[in-house]
């Protein structure tokens, strides 16, 4: 006897429903795949689910049903967000730098259709979901995969459309999340040229090359003296990491200017904050939770994630490094900057004199 499949979702009047959406005696429940009637089971032991009636057991395909459920969840979620004026987030990872990118799908499209065939040089290519604007112009597509990725031939055909495509790997447990937005597991035809993080990394590489050029011009004696100072900072750093207690993060929602942070900006800032806490930094005050501090023998070192008027957080989520004292700031901050970089934290740094920041990275003047 073939054991029947159980599903966490089914159809009622053409809409996606979960066991909590229907009553125990509800009828008109049908399967995504074979359209056979289903019943809801709400026991005390197993997770609430839907199942086929005994006369239809063993006739369904779990893979096909899940594929259809995921597509319908995305469609209904998008339409619900559009009609209510809520965002429908699209999230994916940059193919070059790996950073999470974010966009509101409602700003790109007005409508979505299932199983649409798109013309390509007199041939048809079918996509699972096609999102279009008010004029009917295709904006992006979504491909849902279940147990296998896109076949190479199909992936090539879709890529040749030139249309941005988000690839979603679906599971029954992810259906609810797909109603709230798309977290893509892969993409096609999405360029990284507009990726802010890629531009930041490129800028930091250029800055690193400038620093390297300056270091090469130092005299041998200067380099030796600086190496001694840098070694002292590294010994202090390594010693301070031993038996270091990790403090819990105190979250905040606005930047220094009181502006609400975008979700992707907030996620990047919180990720950096957690790394700083693991390295021994501490949040300073309740009123300024974005300022992290670590004590050095020659002064306090601050990592500021609150942004400034010149560089707000939505332009650059990197922490700003500065010190509370003027002695040997440059060497100490340079070493800490590189140590943080080795831990995946790309910081900006400045000197602090007489209550004002002097941004080293913006100083393009050459000494005569």
Quick check: is 367 in a domain? no
Last residue of a domain, one of 21, 42, 60: 60
Q: Judge whether residue 13 has pLDDT over 80.
A: yes
Same structural domain, 223 and 299: yes
- Tell how strand 138-145 and strand 164-169 pair up: parallel
Same structural domain, 239 and 319: yes
What separation in angstroms does the CA of 27 have from each of 17, 39, 341?
12, 8, 60
Same structural domain, 321 and 203: yes
Which comes out higher in pLDDT, residue 79 or 333? 79
Q: State the average pLDDT over residues 7-32.
A: 86
Same structural domain, 168 and 44: no
Please give the tally of structural domains in the chain. Answer: 3
DSSP state of 238: H
Same structural domain, 26 and 109: no
**pLDDT confidence of 213, banded at 50, 70, 90?**
low
Q: Judge whether residue 222 has pLDDT over 90.
A: no
- Distance CA(302)–CA(214), nearest Å, equals 25
pLDDT tens-digit map of 251-262 = 998 888 888 888
C-beta separation of 39 from 29 below 8 A: yes
Quick check: is 250 in a domain? yes
Q: Which domain holds residue 46?
A: 6-60
Phi, psi of 320 (to 5 degrees): -95, 120
Which comes out higher in pLDDT, residue 14 or 350? 14
pLDDT tens-digit map of 268-296 = 999 999 998 888 888 888 889 999 988 88
Which comes out higher in pLDDT, residue 172 or 25? 172
pLDDT at 356: 43
Quick check: is 86 in a domain? yes
pLDDT at 272: 92
Same structural domain, 154 and 281: no
Burial degree of 90 (CB within 10 A; 0-12, 13-18, 19+): buried
pLDDT at 73: 93
Same structural domain, 40 and 89: no
CATH code: domain of residue 85: 3.90.1570
**pLDDT confidence of 343, banded at 50, 70, 90?**
confident
Q: Judge whether residue 87 has pLDDT over 70.
A: yes
Q: Judge whether residue 231 has pLDDT over 70.
A: yes
- Among 5-9, 222-226, 297-301, 315-319, the range with the most confident prediction by mean pLDDT is 315-319
Same structural domain, 341 and 203: yes
Last residue of a domain, one of 156, 188, 220: 188
Q: Judge whether residue 1 has pLDDT over 50.
A: no
Phi, psi of 277 (to 5 degrees): -65, -40
Same structural domain, 155 and 263: no
Same structural domain, 53 and 127: no
Which comes out higher in pLDDT, residue 361 or 148? 148
pLDDT, averaged across the chain: 79
Looking at the chain, the whole-number percentage of residues with pLDDT higher than 70 is 78
Q: Judge whether residue 97 has pLDDT over 70.
A: yes
**pLDDT confidence of 86, banded at 50, 70, 90?**
very high
Which comes out higher in pLDDT, residue 190 or 240? 190
Q: Judge whether residue 242 has pLDDT over 60.
A: no
């Amino acid at each position: 006897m073939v054991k029947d499949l159980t599903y966490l979702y089914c159809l009622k009047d053409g809409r996606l429903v979960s066991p909590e959406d229907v009553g125990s005696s509800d009828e008109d429940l049908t399967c995504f795949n074979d359209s056979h009637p289903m019943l809801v089971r709400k026991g005390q032991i197993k997770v609430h689910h839907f199942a086929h009636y005994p006369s239809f057991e063993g006739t369904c395909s779990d893979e096909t049903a899940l594929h259809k459920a995921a597509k319908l969840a995305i469609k209904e979620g998008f339409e619900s967000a559009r009609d209510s004026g809520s965002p429908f987030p699209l999230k994916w990872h940059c193919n070059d730098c790996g950073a999470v990118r974010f966009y509101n799908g409602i700003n790109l499209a007005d409508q979505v259709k299932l199983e649409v065939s798109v013309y390509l040089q007199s041939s048809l290519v079918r996509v699972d979901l096609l999102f279009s604007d008010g004029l009917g112009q295709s904006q992006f597509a979504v491909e849902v995969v279940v147990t296998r990725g896109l076949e190479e031939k199909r992936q090539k055909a879709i890529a040749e459309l030139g249309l941005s495509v988000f690839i979603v790997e679906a599971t029954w447990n992810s259906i609810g999340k797909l109603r709230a937005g798309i977290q893509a597991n892969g993409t096609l035809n999405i360029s990284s040229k507009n990726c802010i993080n890629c531009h930041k990394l490129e800028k930091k590489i250029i800055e690193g090359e400038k620093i390297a050029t300056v270091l090469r011009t130092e005299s041998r004696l200067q380099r030796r003296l600086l190496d001694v100072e840098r070694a002292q900072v590294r010994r202090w750093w390594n010693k301070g990491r031993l038996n270091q207690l990790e403090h819990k993060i105190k979250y905040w929602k606005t930047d220094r200017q009181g502006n609400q942070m975008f979700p992707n900006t907030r996620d990047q800032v919180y990720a950096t904050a957690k790394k700083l806490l693991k390295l021994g930094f501490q949040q300073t005050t309740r009123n300024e939770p974005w300022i992290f501090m670590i004590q050095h023998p020659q002064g306090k070192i601050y990592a500021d994630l609150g942004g400034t008027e010149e560089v707000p957080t939505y332009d650059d989520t990197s922490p700003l490094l500065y010190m509370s004292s003027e002695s040997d700031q440059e060497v100490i901050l340079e070493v800490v900057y590189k140590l943080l970089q080795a831990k995946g934290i790309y910081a900006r740094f400045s000197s602090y004199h007489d209550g004002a920041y002097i941004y080293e990275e913006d100083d393009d003047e050459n000494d005569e």
